[in-house]
Every structure is written in C-alpha cells, then in structure tokens.
Structure 1
Amino acid sequence: MQIDLTGRTALVTDSTQGIGAAIAAGLARAGARVAVNGRSEESVSAAVATLARKVPGAELVPVAADVAGEEGAGRVAQVLPRVDILVNNLGIFGSADPLEITDAEWRRYFEVNVLAAVGLTGPTRAAGEGVVVGGGWNAGRMNGDEQLLCGRVYGCDHDDPNPGPLPARTYAALVGGPLDGLLLDITGFRAEELDGGVALATELSRWPGGRALYAPGDGEPRTPGPGTVCRFHYSGDAP
C-alpha cells in the first residue's frame, strides 16, 4: 500500500544513518517534505545528499541541531514552525545491568529519550493535528529477532540488502554502548591495531559528530578468521 503524504512535513530525529535514515527515505518516497536531523552540519549534509540520490525529487530540509537540549529544540522550531509528522527516533541506551547504571546516567536517558521528545511536540501542536511516533522512547537492548542491530556490520547503509557479515571477512563484535550488537570489519588489521582499539563515528555519541570508543578487554580470547573472532568493549565517547 502506498501512502500519499504530499503537502505534509515530517521531522525524523537522528536520521542521518541507520533506522532514522530508512524512515526518512520512506516518508520522502510517500511524498512528504522531510527534515533530516543530526547533531553536526557535516553528517546532516552527507545524509541529505545520500537521500536525494535515493529519492530523486524529494523535498529535504537539513536541520543540524542537538535535539536533546532546549537550544536544539528551539533551532528546530525556527526551521520548522509546523510539523505534521514527528518521528522521535533519537534514543540512547547502554548494555548494562540496570542496578549498575548510575543515577546521572539514568537522568541522561530520561532527558534524551523522554523529555527531548516532549520538547519537540511544539511544531506538531502548531499544525493543529498531526502524528507523533515515539520510536526513541523504546531505545534499549532487545531480545531474539527484535535485536535490530545485532549481526549488522558497522558502516553498512541502512537499506543495504545484505547488511550482515560476508563469508571471507573477519569481524569483531561490539559490546555495550551505542553500537552494541554491531559487527566491525577488522579484516587486515594487525595485532597491534586490534590491541589499540577503535574510535567509531556515530550520531549517538555524547558529542556532535563524536565517536564511540571500543577496544578488546584484557585477556579477551581471539580466534583465527574469517568470521567473528573477538569482542570489542565500549569504554566511552570522544569528540
């Protein structure tokens, strides 16, 4: 079924990559004017260019703003005084025992996953009617077939028909943090490169255009490739 959203304006938060980018593409194909959001001008510009190639003729609005804060929400309201469809895709989570998460981290989860979404409803209310989808509120570790990130390779495009590992490649499983469940292609890495860990660009970092840090744990077992040969554990974020 093809839905006609011609004349409607949609905002998808955190839509420069992954599920957010896929949602933005679907809305654009349905005829909506789509606002692409991320925290840096560079990531938003790149995402808009990619989406324009995939959906020729799409009307796209770049919105570089950290919507987790009041300043970012204000920026959105300036660029988009009216929004008919709001998809709150932004959400953060960590792979940890709930009892081990600090009070400060719980507050950060609530501020980003809940309060930020509420703060963005102003333009939707201005439309008089509209649709609000709270995808980011469901951020968290999912089980079984619902683990949408599990088994995907970091860096694969959101609509890649084969986002999983390839038979002749070697991978590290990412554990914890914003990229938990993804696989990192480490084919050709030397031992010293693996020991040094990696800094992976992600919109879910604490900083706009930031990176999530992953490295093997002390004594982490490593098997010969190809396939998934080791695990890289999340240790924090860097600008």
Structure 2
Amino acid sequence: MVNKMGLIFTLVGVISLALATLGSPYPKAKQEDGVHTKCTQPGMFSLTFDDGPLPGRTEAVLDVLKEANVTATFFVCGQTYSDLHSVEGQATVRRIIAEGHQIGIHTWSHPYLADPWRSVEEVTNEVKSVADKLLEITGNRIPIMRPPYGAYNDSVLDIVRGELGLEVIMWNVNTLDWSHPGDTAAAIENYKIETSGSHPSVDSFIALHHDPLPGSSELAVEAIRFMISAGYRFVTVGECIGL
C-alpha cells in the first residue's frame, strides 16, 4: 500500500509542480525578502530533501548519509507520501533527529501557498499543524520552513516569518530531480551548471532534493561525492544560516 500511495503522490507532485511552474520559473528570492538561498559563510554546503518522509526511500537516503558521515536537512510534510500520525512516519522523523540531521517544515498537504485566493487561515494552518506535530514528536520547536514548489508571496512571508517566526529556506542548486526521477546523471549535470565557476573560498550552496522519489539515495551518493570533491563542507540548514 505504501508503495502504491508513494507512486500516486509522486505522479501528483510531478504534475502539480509542472503546472505551477509552467511559464513561470521559481521566484527569485531577493536579499531584502529575508529568504535564505545560500549560507552565511563561504565553503558551506547544505543538502536538503523535501516532501517526505517516505519510509523505505527516506531510510535509504539516511543510510547513505550515515555511510558518508555527513548531515542534511529534511523538510517534511504532514500527510503526502507518509503520515506524521503514523508509527512509521514518526519513527523516520525520530531517526532523522537521532542521526544528527535537521527537520524543517514543508506544510501539511503540500499546497501552492502563493495562490491569490488562499486564505491567511489556510496558510497558517498548513504550516502550524506540521510545526505542532513535530513539536509533539521531537520535543523541540522547528525554526525553519520551505514553501512547497518554492512558491511564496508577501502574504506568505508575513505569515511564516512575521506571525509564526520561522526562517524561510530556498536554494541555489536545483537538481530538478522531480522532472527526471531516477536519472542521477541529469541531476548531477544541474549541480555542475549551478556551481560552475564557484569556489569554496567565496561561495556557498543550498541544494534541493526530494527523498521520496525513485533514485533519491543514488543521487545523494553522487551529490556528496561531487560537493566533497569541490571542497565544500556539509552542514545542516541551521548551521548554514547561522541559527
């Protein structure tokens, strides 16, 4: 059942993201937005994963991270591929924390928050419901959030940053793994393009992956190799932005 549901949500996610971004690229976060797209210090690299947990695939990614002895950040949903009410979903979250990684908020049901008709109450509930559940599971308040599809507007920022006091995290390396799940070579090519000409003495990066997708653990292996060979130091998002 989990595999079937995972497949369904993979297809829904791919279709939704394609529709959301058709003819309109991800918003370019400006420094004055107070939205984080890179780390505060050069030489840092933050590996991030969205949309999970999905027991099985998230576990495989965690195995890779453990073997490589690097930390990452997982922006989790309340109910997409898995359910934070479930024993399996909560166990995966606890393992993420226990192994030194960081948890972030990615809303309850993965909606496009920047829709102009979406109410303040709906945006607030989508974020706060995950925050409250993660507090229950981990015993800690979660300080970081990433909007689904990277979509935000002034209203979303007012709610997430102003009312809820969360840091909004974007990225400056997009693997586009959602558009070619399982194609590790294509994702690594995006790494090469988006880090071209960079150097750890002056640059830093936050990379976007999706742990529930097919091939997510294989991509993690190659991404780790690539960024280590480029001379970058792996950090959680909290370390990256100086929390």
TM-score above 0.5, yes or no: no
Q: Greater share of strand residues, 1 or 2? A: 1
Alignment TM-score, normalising by the size of structure 1: 0.33
More helix by share: 2
User: TM-score, normalised to structure 2's length?
Assistant: 0.32
